[in-house]
Amino acid sequence: MASPQPDQTRRAAILGGNRIPFARQFGPYAQASNQDMLTAAIEGLVARYNLGGQRLGEVVAGAVIKHSRDFNLTRESVLGSSLDPHTPAYDIQQACGTGLEAAILVSNKIKLGQAESGIAGGVDTSSDAPITVSEKLRTKLLKVNRAKGAGAQLKALGAIRPTDLGIETPANSEPRTGLSMGEHMAQTAKRWGITREAQDELAVASHRGLARSYDEGFQDDLVTSFKGLARDQNLRPDSSMEKLAKLKPAFGKGDDATMTAGNSTPLTDGASVVLLGSEEYAAEHGLTVQAYFVDGETAAVDYVHGEEGLLMAPAYAVPRLLARNGLTLQDFDYYEIHEAFAATVLSTLKAWEDEDFCKDKLGLDAPLGSIDRDKLNVNGSSLAAGHPFAATGGRIVAALAKMLHEKGPGSRGLISICAAGGQGVVAILEGA
């Protein structure tokens, strides 16, 4: 089936990015709200690319864990920034795929000529999390609120029992399975035979890559310090196999459990944004096109019935994206596979190498094959930087665009991000 071609499309350019360093839960950003962090990330971008007073086409961002008061999170951040207040904004939420999905949406509007410029991003806090009362109490309190007259209200209040009291904080678990993301991943890791050693190796490489990128100054125009933090707090430049080997398994059961706190991402706080625009917009504003946002794809798997692992959807999204763009898995200079867990990356790579999986599950004639591991997460990924859910996409898009620009025109990068709910968001960027 041929996809319908819009009458006319143009290229969407990535012009730069900005993020605040990611902080560990209850670290320096313990009291920073999503609003504070997203505004700071936008304001840093505005300062870096001289966007003060400019009316952009739109700003699209979101947070996975959100207070109900933040219903208009992104628009409020625009109003708190130096952007022209006539810049519209909206929120999206696609779990850990939020940031990359936002970039797909903005770039699509630019491609269609519906927008000249835009910002895509995301933010998440695991520290300043919303607290809700128990469902029973919530229902009864709403009843009190509805009751007319003091007598009726008192009666409704009287229905509240001591056992109704209690608070709930958002949990990193799947509503339908009750399993945490780590437990889900442990099942998948076991299925693909991912070893502890391979996971720890990936974690060490991530820390070393990110540390090197900071030392080389690569992050200088991608990160703006916030609340006294200048680098990602989770980064351990001296990470080693010996140190990681000492950690006890955190997810999975039994002697063969492999996933530890060292090869899983910790809960973190942070925000990131990316500036996108048409080539005309870039030229008018004297901005350098770093890369083009070529295409994006999403996929979802049925993890509820055990048919597939929770975080395996990108394994399905990538072949569809490759086919649509006439590319093979080997046609890339860089691969950015989000390290939700080291095992996620390794299971995905293993799946693409597996003949049965590629035939039976992906419906391909042959496996997608292996990738050159030297091209994978070159400047570190989420294991080192941390992973404030919705902020990861923006971090990756901005960094990859810069890497591709340095590599030169025509260079290619692949982004793969898994998300809760059995979803995956993937994209192709091309260097300019």
Residues labelled as active-site residues? 96, 387, 418
Let me know: does 335 contact 414? Beta carbons within 8 Å. Answer: yes
Cα separation of 366 and 307, whole Å?
21
Give the per-residue contact string, 218-257, with other proteins (x = CB under 8 A; - = no): -------xxxx-----------------------------
Phi then psi for 197, rounded to 5 degrees?
Answer: -60, -45
Angle in degrees, 0-180, between the axes of helices 135-146 and 150-158, rounded to the nearest 10: 170
Let me know: does 335 contact 191? Beta carbons within 8 Å. Answer: no
Q: Is 32 in the site for other proteins (CB under 8 A)?
A: yes
Q: Is 33 in the site for other proteins (CB under 8 A)?
A: yes
Cβ closest to other proteins, residue 33 vs residue 117: 33
- Judged by CB under 8 A, which stretch of 39-47, 150-158, 306-314, 346-354 contacts other proteins? 39-47
Using CB under 8 A, which residues numbered 77 to 96 contact other proteins?
Answer: 79-82
The nearest distance, CB 264 to other proteins, in angstroms, is 30
- Judged by CB under 8 A, which stretch of 8-16, 36-44, 191-199, 202-210 contacts other proteins? 36-44
Cβ closest to other proteins, residue 41 vs residue 378: 41
Cα separation of 256 and 195, whole Å?
9
The count of other CB atoms within 10 Å of the CB of residue 86 is 9
Cβ closest to other proteins, residue 175 vs residue 228: 228
Tell which one of 9, 26, 52, 155 touches other proteins (CB under 8 A): 52
Q: Strand, helix or coil at 324?
A: helix
Cβ closest to other proteins, residue 271 vs residue 390: 271
Q: Is 61 in the site for other proteins (CB under 8 A)?
A: no
Cβ closest to other proteins, residue 52 vs residue 237: 52
How many of the chain's residues bind other proteins (CB under 8 A)?
Answer: 16
Cα separation of 146 and 144, whole Å?
5
Cβ closest to other proteins, residue 51 vs residue 315: 51
Angle in degrees, 0-180, between the axes of helices 196-215 and 342-353, rounded to the nearest 10: 110
Phi then psi for 167, rounded to 5 degrees?
Answer: -120, 155
Q: Which two tokens stand for residue 297?
A: 């794809």
Tell which one of 31, 50, 195, 370 touches other proteins (CB under 8 A): 31
Distances (CA, A) of 166 to 102, 138, 157, 161, 175: 35, 10, 16, 11, 19
For 99-133, give the DSSP string.
Answer: HHHHHHHHHHHHHHTS-SEEEEEEEE-SSS---EE
- Judged by CB under 8 A, which stretch of 33-41, 91-99, 174-182, 191-199 contacts other proteins? 33-41
Binding site for other proteins (CB under 8 A): 31-33, 36, 39-40, 43, 52, 79-82, 225-228
